[in-house]
Amino acid sequence: MTNEMRALVKPGPVRGLEMHRAPVPEIGADDVLIRVKKTGICGTDIHIWQWDDWAARTVPTPLITGHEFAGEIVELGRHVEGLSLGQRCSGEGHLIGKTSRQSRAGKFHLDPETRGIGVNEQGAFAEYLALPAFNVVPLPDTIDDEIGAILDPLGNAVHTALSFDLLGEDVLVTGAGPIGTMAAAVARHAGARHVVITDVNQARLDLAGQVADVRPVNVTTEDLASVFPELGMKQGFDVGLEMSGNQAALDQMVETMVMGGRIALLGIPPGKSPVDWSRIVFKAITIKGVYGREIFETWYKMIAMLENGLDVRRVITHRFSASEYREGFAAMLSGTSGKVVLDWT
């Protein structure tokens, strides 16, 4: 194996990424080396590409970016057990500490010392990735590399959607981006009665309708409440999944929830947003903030659902070779794509 690899690097505080030659990472005793085959482009990667205020505050440079991947193990640290050379895998991109109360209690996704590959540490947009063996998620033969490369965002969708009991419930998803669309598919798979998804982007609503059995609503042309009689709904939505990060969408969600409704928030509004807390209090609404995935319960749940018929492949709308990364990012920046996957083979 050569000691150099191709890698997409954020070279400094500038817009875009560059393809560089970089050393193949060395692994520690508790790590594995993964030959990356497919990677997904995430909204976080777009923030880094654009070098917005969040990226400038958060991301050290130079840095290999990217955190959605699938590949195979090509080297094992000397302390690693339970994994094997040639094993196909994806992995949890959140690198946790071991000393916090949350981590010691097994609530790894709540560890305040968490650092992210491709955000704080060297990432997966490369031919090879060093990863703690603890973070490796083996892939069954039923899940190919393309789906394996989008398990990270699917995990966000699963974590959000399964925040509350969905069986027989009417669910509103605000935001028809890839994660919102996958969350809608998960809600239907988990037994929701009706799933409505809203957005202002008709192309993404059309895609959501292709991926999942949902009722898309473009709120610029259709009144959300007008779907109640169509769907036989009496009061409103039982569960809300807020994926847009848009204050108007959250306000509309609160207005159309039933008394005692439950909302899971994954979308992040820019800056501070005004909230009419009286509406939330008087409607007795429960709100849960969602960050990342439950490590590793979400991974078990989503792999089980994929093996049991959950189909999200159509959320992937663009496929490029890694050398065509500029075209891949252009597709994401267009605002009309679903997931974009890069092939590193």
* Residue position matching structure tokens 């990863």: 131
**DSSP one-letter code for 241:** E
Give CA 197 to chain center in angstroms: 17
pLDDT digits (tens, 9 = 90+) for 288-343: 999 999 999 999 999 999 999 999 999 999 999 999 999 999 999 998 899 999 99
Chunked into runs of 10 residues, the chain (345 residues) has average pLDDT values of: 91 96 97 98 96 94 98 98 98 96 96 97 98 98 98 98 98 97 98 98 96 97 95 96 95 96 93 89 97 95 97 98 98 95 97
pLDDT digits (tens, 9 = 90+) for 171-214: 999 999 999 999 999 999 999 999 999 999 999 999 999 999 99
Burial of 201 from C-beta contacts in 10 A (0-12 / 13-18 / 19+): middle
Taking the C-alpha atoms of residue 135 and residue 51, their distance in angstroms, rounded to an integer, is 28
Q: Enumerate the active-site residues.
A: 44, 47
| φ, ψ for residue 198, nearest 5 deg | -115, 155
18-23 and 88-91 beta bridge pairing:
unpaired
Radius of gyration of the chain from Cα atoms?
20
Taking the C-alpha atoms of residue 303 and residue 287, their distance in angstroms, rounded to an integer, is 27
Residue 262: strand pairing partners = 239, 286
Tokens found for residue 104: 């010691």
E-assigned strand segments in the chain = 4-10, 18-23, 31-41, 63-64, 68-76, 88-91, 94-95, 115-116, 128-132, 136-138, 170-174, 194-199, 215-218, 237-242, 257-265, 286-289, 316-321, 339-343
Taking the C-alpha atoms of residue 43 and residue 224, their distance in angstroms, rounded to an integer, is 27
Look up the CATH number of domain 156-289.
3.40.50.720
Looking at residue 272, its pLDDT comes to 84
Taking the C-alpha atoms of residue 241 and residue 264, their distance in angstroms, rounded to an integer, is 5
Tell me which amino acid residue 15 is: R
Cα separations in angstroms, 56 against 14, 44, 114, 272, 274: 9, 12, 19, 19, 25
Ordered by start, the domain boundaries in the chain are 4-150+312-343, 156-289
Tokens found for residue 126: 């490369």
pTM of the predicted model over 0.85: yes
Looking at residue 44, its pLDDT comes to 94
In this structure, CATH architecture of domain 4-150+312-343 = Alpha-Beta Complex (3.90)
Q: Whose CA is closest to 322, among 143, 124, 137?
A: 124
Taking the C-alpha atoms of residue 12 and residue 303, their distance in angstroms, rounded to an integer, is 37
Q: Which residues have a Cβ under 8 Å from the Cβ of 291 and sit 6 or more positions away?
A: 109, 110
Looking at residue 270, its pLDDT comes to 80
Q: Which residues have a Cβ under 8 Å from the Cβ of 5 and sit 6 or more positions away?
A: 21, 22, 23, 24, 126, 127, 128
Burial of 28 from C-beta contacts in 10 A (0-12 / 13-18 / 19+): middle
